Structure 1
Amino acid sequence: MLNLSFDSILPSEIQSYSGHLILTTKKESPKKCEKPLLNEDIFEHPPTVIRGKMMQKLNLNLEEELLILGIDPGQQIGLSIFYCSKEIESSFHSSVEGLVLHIIQILGGLRAKRKIIKIGNGNMTIAKQIVTMLNLKFCSSFELEFVDEHKTSPKIKNFNQRGKRDMLSAKYISQRDGYRYSILPLSMTG
């Protein structure tokens, strides 16, 4: 699912391995290792979180740790996720609840100085459902922007083939600015 190339090595070869990142079991992990190392428990996370954690480990001279989620609300909900200025996911979801559960995994799984959710204002009913459900189920703060989504839907042949238009709209939404709100979890605000 991640489409990564890799080398298979023995535990005794870890210290001399010339690659950039090592994935191993906790049992076979050396006590000290100069190479960035991840253990097999990383696969408990969704692929997007795994990509982000790999970026963190590799320390790719990334810009400010910023996690931006662009959402195009509608019948099919487009989602675009940028982590440290790189798009790490483009997907679409058919239910608000499924989307919110996925977003919670991403927000909870990735470390970032700022976590910003940008939602298009084209369908405020669904946008408000997403925000309400996030506020009820996610126990940390995040920033929220409602973004003008005028001219974010590209003209694609075959209407909305496999959600392409919704995903592209979400990407455009993630790059726009709107009025920013700080959302504090209900556990803090009562």
Structure 2
Amino acid sequence: MKTLNLPFDSILPEEIINYAGHLILTTKKESPKKCEKALLYEDIFENHPTVIKGLMMQKLNLDYLEKDLILGIDPGKRIGLSIFYYGKEIESIFHSSVENLISHVICVLGGLRAKRKIVKIGNGNMHIAKQISTMLNLKFCSSYELEFVDERKTSLKIKNFNQRGKRDMLSAKYISQRDGFRYSILPLSITG
């Protein structure tokens, strides 16, 4: 929980039923047979921290109108990634290689349920953008929507040039909020 930067209370198993919080993390052995509260079990920690945040949002059944999973990608030397789920940004990070980015994107796309899964890639470096879309299509075995987005004016001028990839992550965030021409990508297992 500390890794996720989330506040939490530590309680005993017999206090679960009367606990005033919204979400309880426990073991299957210690969980009460009947409980009105949303429960998650310790096996959730086998997932990536971003997927854990998303699973918590799912469990809390947040009533956002937007139940989409949107990934904004800023291709370049450092590849910015911004992930929005239930209308909130749950991760902002950068990767130094396409392979690392693809394995992370697949982990998130495969780990979270969504009405629509949309991957938006900036068109600033089409060579890397095409490489990302091709690798994702080859390695991710489920359908998603793909957009190439005009990324003009997404790079802000930040002091100290690009400190720890901040500009790439901000660009990815802006890319995730823009619209482009949308393609529906079906997995190769369906299309052959």
Q: TM-score, normalised by structure 2?
A: 0.97
Aligned equivalent of 1:3: 5
Matching residue's letter, 1:115 = K
SS state of the match for residue 131, structure 2? helix
Gaps of 5+ in 2: none
How many pairs does the alignment contain? 190
Matching residue's letter, 1:92 = F
* Cα distance in 1 for residues equivalent to 2:29 and 2:127: 50
Aligned equivalent of 1:44: 46
Q: Does 1:170 pair with 2:175?
A: no
Gaps of 5+ in 1: none
Q: Does 1:59 pair with 2:61?
A: yes
Aligned equivalent of 1:104: 106
* Cα distance in 1 for residues equivalent to 2:140 and 2:34: 36
Matching residue's letter, 1:149 = E
The structure 2 residue matched to 1:79, chosen from 74, 78, 81, is 81
Matching residue's letter, 1:55 = M
Matching residue's letter, 1:85 = G
Q: Note the alpha carbon deviations across 1:17-61, whole angstroms, 9 max, x for none.
A: 111110001111222210000000111111111111111111222
The structure 1 residue matched to 2:14, chosen from 3, 12, 21, is 12
Aligned equivalent of 1:26: 28
SS state of the match for residue 72, structure 2? strand
* Cα distance in 1 for residues equivalent to 2:74 and 2:61: 30
Percent of residue pairs identical: 81
Shift of 1:156: 0.5
The RMSD of aligned alpha carbons is: 0.8
1:96-135 pair list within 5 angstroms: 96-135=98-137
Q: TM-score, normalised by structure 1?
A: 0.98
SS state of the match for residue 22, structure 1? strand
Shift of 1:83: 0.5
* Cα distance in 2 for residues equivalent to 1:95 and 1:63: 34
Aligned equivalent of 1:146: 148
* Cα distance in 1 for residues equivalent to 2:47 and 2:131: 25
SS state of the match for residue 80, structure 2? strand
Matching residue's letter, 1:134 = L
Q: Note the alpha carbon deviations across 1:75-125, whole angstroms, 9 max, x for none.
A: 000000011111110000001010000000100111100000000001111
* Cα distance in 2 for residues equivalent to 1:113 and 1:90: 22
Aligned equivalent of 2:162: 160
SS state of the match for residue 31, structure 1? coil
Matching residue's letter, 1:156 = I
SS state of the match for residue 6, structure 2? coil
Matching residue's letter, 1:91 = I
